[in-house]
Amino acid sequence: MKEAVSRLLAEGGRSFWSIVGRWEYRLKDLVDALNEMHEQGELAVRNGTLELKGGERLRRLGKRTCRCCRGRGVDVKNTSLLRRFRRLLKERPPTTADYFQGNMDAESVVARVHLMDARDGLAGRRICLVGDDDYLSLALALTHLPERVYVLEIDERIGEFIERCARREGLEVEFMQYSVEEPLPEELRGRCHIFSTEPLETLSGFLSFFARGAGTLAGRNCAGYVGLTNLECSIEKWKRIQEEMLRMGFVITELRRRFSSYPMEYPEDEMYVEQVVKSLKFRVKPNRKGTWYFSHLFRVEAVETPKPVPAPEERTEIELFDPGDDMTYPNSMRR
């Protein structure tokens, strides 16, 4: 992990939050590596900037990420859909820690809509969202392309807001109050062409959300869009998740890194940041320069009839604080 830190600092000093925004492993691994390097005199902290101390810097070609789309591969700035979606979001209910919510920014949501249309086509599609505190349902419905957008969401406040917007704007959205621990509603089993979810990042949480989405799909060649971080998921957990996806009949066809941005602007986010800062053995300045929490976006496709586990008719139980899980800060679970 120290070598990974050195690569990030190869071109010069960075703030702690800039390093986090580019980190490819668990946040805990970064904190441990930085603390060790600081204690061993390999890392200097000057006025909030972290720099390698002594020795030669690693030689690199330099960053060449597209400035227009920020590496997403989709540029949605100043689009009509983004403007209309932002207008609706002004009335959305506040997030709550009760359901581990955390909203991605509007640009990330609209970028997903465009990617879904480019890869799978939205016209005439039935789409299911397993959880929707990002209001992807509204962005999808604002295109007036899908036949129907279904929302499975436990938070009734979110459902009321979505329904209110749908009535006012004439949108094809249907809300069902639902917990993923319960059997999938019969009327949605095998009915949809696409699902999307931003699941909890415990292993049982992720797989439960994924399985519920998979259970809504009509069959082979249907697709799913799923968010997953590095900061709270080790690559070992990624391996287990990929193995389970394969067993359920899916392959990963695309991975868009740092596709979804989380502004970290709510009280629950501040609690998470406090835990991060307290874990460091040196002082860092508050983040004032943009987003550092990102989620990567997977597109998966069914290569056979999906075999979700748990099955749609089965109840399941999510372990929120499984001591065997490898989340960095499970008590402040994101998303």
Residue 229: which of 190, 265, 274, 199 has the closest Cα? Answer: 199
| pLDDT band at residue 73 under the 50/70/90 scheme | confident
Q: Are residues 146 and 261 in the same domain?
A: yes
Q: Are residues 266 and 125 in the same domain?
A: yes
In a domain, 236, yes or no: yes
H or E element in which residue 226 lies: strand 223-228
- Kind of pairing between the strands at 126-130 and 148-153: parallel
In a domain, 62, yes or no: no
Model confidence at 254: pLDDT above 90: yes
In a domain, 96, yes or no: yes
Q: Read off the pLDDT of residues 196-251 as tens digits, 9 standing for 90 and up.
A: 999 988 899 999 999 999 999 999 999 999 999 998 888 999 999 999 999 999 99
Average pLDDT, the chain: 89
Q: Are residues 219 and 308 in the same domain?
A: yes
CATH number at residue 170: 3.40.50.150
Report d(CA 328, CA 275) in Å as an integer: 10
User: Which of 7-16, 69-78, 297-306 has the highest average model confidence (pLDDT)?
Assistant: 297-306
Average pLDDT over residues 124-150: 97
Model confidence at 276: pLDDT above 70: yes
The larger pLDDT score, comparing residue 51 to residue 69, is at 51
In a domain, 104, yes or no: yes
Question: How many domains, in total, are found in the chain?
Answer: 2
Report d(CA 71, CA 291) in Å as an integer: 14
| Structure-block tokens of residue 289 | 């320069």
Amino acid symbol at 120: D
Q: Are residues 161 and 269 in the same domain?
A: yes
The larger pLDDT score, comparing residue 70 to residue 263, is at 263
Q: Are residues 265 and 172 in the same domain?
A: yes
Q: Are residues 187 and 307 in the same domain?
A: yes
Domain that holds residue 48: 2-52
Q: Read off the pLDDT of residues 170-188 as tens digits, 9 standing for 90 and up.
A: 999 999 999 999 999 999 9
Do the beta carbons of residue 249 and residue 303 sit within 8 Å?
yes
Q: Are residues 12 and 133 in the same domain?
A: no
Q: Are residues 21 and 113 in the same domain?
A: no
Query: Sign of torsion, CA 77 78 81 84?
Result: positive
Q: Please state, in angstroms and as integers, the Cα–Cα distance from residue 61 to each residue in 10, 206, 296, following that order.
A: 10, 36, 24
Model confidence at 132: pLDDT above 90: yes
pLDDT of residue 176: 97
- Percent with pLDDT over 70 in the chain: 90
Report d(CA 87, CA 110) in Å as an integer: 13
- Listing DSSP states for 170-199 in one string gives T--EEEEE--TTSPPPGGGTTTBSEEEE--
The larger pLDDT score, comparing residue 331 to residue 280, is at 280
Cis? peptide before 310, omega within 30° of 0: yes
pLDDT of residue 10: 83
Helices (H), 187-285: 203-215, 235-247, 267-279
Report d(CA 231, CA 224) in Å as an integer: 22
Report d(CA 270, CA 264) in Å as an integer: 7
Q: Are residues 36 and 105 in the same domain?
A: no
In a domain, 147, yes or no: yes
Model confidence at 326: pLDDT above 90: no
Paired with 226 in beta bridges are 197, 298
pLDDT of residue 323: 61
Do the beta carbons of residue 162 and residue 129 sit within 8 Å?
no
pLDDT of residue 268: 67
How many Å separate Cα 249 from the centre of its chain? Answer: 22
In a domain, 149, yes or no: yes
Q: Are residues 41 and 135 in the same domain?
A: no
In a domain, 228, yes or no: yes
In a domain, 61, yes or no: no
Q: Are residues 158 and 277 in the same domain?
A: yes
Model confidence at 281: pLDDT above 60: yes
